[in-house]
């Protein structure tokens, strides 16, 4: 792939050896280096990753990945959280794991940021602090509360059928992420017509959401089986595979 050619990558690697994806080998450092090379200046890579627990000890592979990306030149623009609204109980001596990391890596500073908004909790007119002087006297004025604010960097999604997607075929892949998660990143870090890439596209979630949001997409997976699923899903839901 060409150097400096990709606007945005949204992807999720195999997590340690939690699932073996038919035994394919995943060379993290090589992939990290190539992602840096092909990303445009100001382009973003969203790296979504969790950790395995080895005999009661979390691997922290997620953090090791983030540190390595930083070492090879990416700015770690944000460490976001993908929080799952519904998760099965997993460990008797720890809280149920309900999140993964979404590292937002950038080659320089993001050339695109379209912040997603959410409604403010309260609305209407309220006495708001206008000026806090050095004497600690607050002058208050009656003002309209803003109706919405920029979202926080903790994003919540329902997972599973109907949550991640309604496409039954996607569940032939063992580890998909929610369509809305991919879409939220695509809208935040890219514009219409930009190229969105997923080098480990699995069931094709990133590709589908890129196409639905008028972006171009490139999806790669080492498994022919998963590529077949992704292609069929794209044809079923978009009517075309291009
Ligand atoms: C966590 S899954 C991605 C799932 C995807 N985000 C989705 O929503 O369907 C990781 C994917 O990485 C693929 N993979 C593993 N090693 C790879 C490699 N060396 N090159 C490309 N893809 C690889 C696996 O086949 C698997 O589909």
Nearest-CA neighbor of 1 among 43, 36, 41?
Answer: 36
Q: Rounded distance, CA 6 to CA 38, Å?
A: 6
The pocket around ligand 1, CB under 6 angstroms, is made up of: 12-14, 21, 24, 26, 173, 175-177, 199-203, 205, 220-223, 226
pTM of this prediction exceeds 0.85: yes
Q: Rounded distance, CA 102 to CA 66, Å?
A: 10
The DSSP secondary-structure symbol of 19 reads: S
Give the start-to-end residue ranges of the domains of the chain. 6-116+151-238, 117-150
Options 3.40.50.450, 3.40.630.10, 3.40.50.150, 3.30.70.100; CATH for 6-116+151-238 is 3.40.50.150
pLDDT in tens, 39-79: 999 999 999 999 988 888 999 999 999 999 999 999 999 99
Atom of ligand 1 nearest to the CA of 26: 19
pLDDT in tens, 154-182: 999 999 888 899 989 998 999 999 999 99
């Amino acid at each position: 792939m060409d150097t400096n050619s990709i606007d945005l990558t949204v992807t999720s690697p195999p997590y340690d050896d939690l699932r073996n994806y038919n035994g394919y080998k995943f060379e993290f450092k090589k992939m990290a280096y190539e992602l840096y090379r092909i990303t445009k200046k100001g382009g973003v890579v969203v790296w979504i990753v969790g950790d395995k627990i080895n005999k009661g000890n979390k691997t922290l592979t997620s953090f090791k990945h983030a540190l390595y990306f930083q070492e090879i030149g990416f700015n770690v623009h944000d460490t976001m959280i993908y929080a799952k609204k519904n998760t099965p109980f997993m460990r008797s001596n720890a809280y149920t794991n309900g999140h993964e990391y979404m590292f937002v890596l950038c080659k320089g500073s993001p050339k695109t940021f379209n912040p997603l908004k959410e409604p403010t909790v309260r609305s209407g007119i309220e006495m708001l602090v206008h000026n806090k002087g050095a004497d600690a006297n607050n002058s208050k004025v009656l003002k309209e509360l803003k109706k919405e604010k920029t979202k926080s960097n903790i994003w919540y999604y329902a997972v599973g059928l109907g949550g991640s997607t309604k496409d039954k075929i996607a569940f032939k892949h063992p580890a998909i992420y929610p369509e809305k998660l991919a879409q939220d990143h695509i809208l935040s870090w890219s514009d219409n017509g930009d190229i969105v890439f997923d080098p480990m596209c699995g069931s094709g979630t990133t590709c589908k959401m890129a196409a639905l949001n008028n972006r171009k997409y490139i999806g790669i997976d080492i498994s022919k089986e998963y590529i077949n699923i992704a292609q069929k899903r794209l044809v079923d839901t978009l009517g075309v595979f291009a």
